[in-house]
Amino acid sequence: MRLATTLLCLVFAALPAAAAELPIFDAHVHYSHDAVELTPPRQAAEILRRAGLKRALVSSSGDAGTQQLLAEAPDIVIPSLRPYRTRGELGSWMRDDGVVAFLEERLQRARYAAIGEFHLYGADADLPVPRRMVQLAKQHGLVLHAHSDADAVERLFSQDPQARVLWAHSGFERPEAVAAMLRKHRNLWCDLAFRSEHGGGGKVPAEWKALFNEFPDRFMVGTDTFTPERWHYLVEHARWTRAWLADLPAPLAERLAWRNGEALFAHWKPGAP
């Protein structure tokens, strides 16, 4: 058995990297104005390709970064509209009427697959600005990418029971709390960005395996480039992701790696009017 494994490793080591590499759908990439300065669009697109990303859900404060990267890599980038005009609005946007005007203006000018990632907790989800954002998402058929606690996710679904919510970082919740939410909400998906306990050392702990097996269609991976410097971590993160995915049966690993992302964003057709 050990000999067989060793031989298999040798075979894989001999394959060109591209053939052995699992494609990745990175559901959590930001490319804000400061990242554009540090890593210009052409270089950023190269990083996405070097990381072996099949697709990336990209958003940026101010939206210009998303549009520039989309122009550079339309085969990879799936654009998401962030309700932030500049860095630093993460704690104030939900009380800022100017955000509604920004979203409406952007939605008239460009096409998106999602709104977010936005930060929203508890009862704030029921304030007028987030309510309007949920309506806009419904009207334009957009996924809501929510960095939220379970309470805010519940409120988003009460506002629009048909909403599709991608729960950023799986709410930073424990597996059993994530499972409870997934059992309750059919239209809830989870990204695993900026967490490591589900795959440290290339091993998936039993409680996470159980969660992935119960909901094989609801998880996707992500890096979260929340600071410009993290752009240089994308390649290493993709490698780390492939290492723990290898601890799962191949069909399940493929779903988490890219199939679930492709399915959730199947409505995104690049280039269509």
Q: Which residues bind Zn ion (CB under 5 A)?
A: 117, 224, 226
Of 158, 51, 160, 185, which is closest to residue 170 (Cα–Cα)?
Answer: 185
Amino acid (one-letter) located at 196: S
Of 221, 164, 157, 158, which is closest to residue 191 (Cα–Cα)?
Answer: 221
Q: Taking each helix axis from N to C terminus, what angle separates 234-245 and 41-50, rounded to the nearest 10 degrees?
A: 20
Cβ count near 151 (within 10 Å): 14
CA atoms within 13 A on the CB side of 72: 21
Q: Which one, 113 or 248, has the nearer CB to Zn ion? A: 113
Q: Which one, 89 or 224, has the nearer CB to Zn ion? A: 224
Q: Which one, 30 or 106, has the nearer CB to Zn ion? A: 30
In the complex, what is the shortest distance from the CB of residue 62 to Zn ion, in angstroms, rounded to a whole number?
Answer: 15
Q: Which one, 106 or 145, has the nearer CB to Zn ion? A: 145
CA dihedral sign of residues 45, 50, 54, 55: negative
Say how many Å lie between the first and final Cα of the chain, rounded. Answer: 55
In the complex, what is the shortest distance from the CB of residue 30 to Zn ion, in angstroms, rounded to a whole number?
Answer: 6
Q: Which residues does residue 119 pair with via DSSP β-bridges, in sequence order?
A: 147
In the complex, what is the shortest distance from the CB of residue 168 to Zn ion, in angstroms, rounded to a whole number?
Answer: 6
For 243, counting Cβ atoms within 10 Å of its Cβ (0-12 exposed, 13-18 middle, 19+ buried), the class is middle
Q: Which one, 84 or 253, has the nearer CB to Zn ion? A: 84
Q: What distance in Å separates the CA atoms of residue 26 and residue 23, rounded to the nearest whole number?
A: 10
Q: Which one, 93 or 226, has the nearer CB to Zn ion? A: 226
Tell me how far CA of residue 199 lies from CA of 11, 25, 84, in angstroms.
24, 17, 31
In the complex, what is the shortest distance from the CB of residue 210 to Zn ion, in angstroms, rounded to a whole number?
Answer: 26
In the complex, what is the shortest distance from the CB of residue 231 to Zn ion, in angstroms, rounded to a whole number?
Answer: 13
Q: What distance in Å separates the CA atoms of residue 235 and residue 244, rounded to the nearest whole number?
A: 15
In the complex, what is the shortest distance from the CB of residue 249 to Zn ion, in angstroms, rounded to a whole number?
Answer: 29
In the complex, what is the shortest distance from the CB of residue 225 to Zn ion, in angstroms, rounded to a whole number?
Answer: 8
Q: Which one, 39 or 248, has the nearer CB to Zn ion? A: 39
Q: Which one, 32 or 260, has the nearer CB to Zn ion? A: 32
Q: What distance in Å separates the CA atoms of residue 204 and residue 51, rounded to the nearest whole number?
A: 22
In the complex, what is the shortest distance from the CB of residue 222 to Zn ion, in angstroms, rounded to a whole number?
Answer: 8
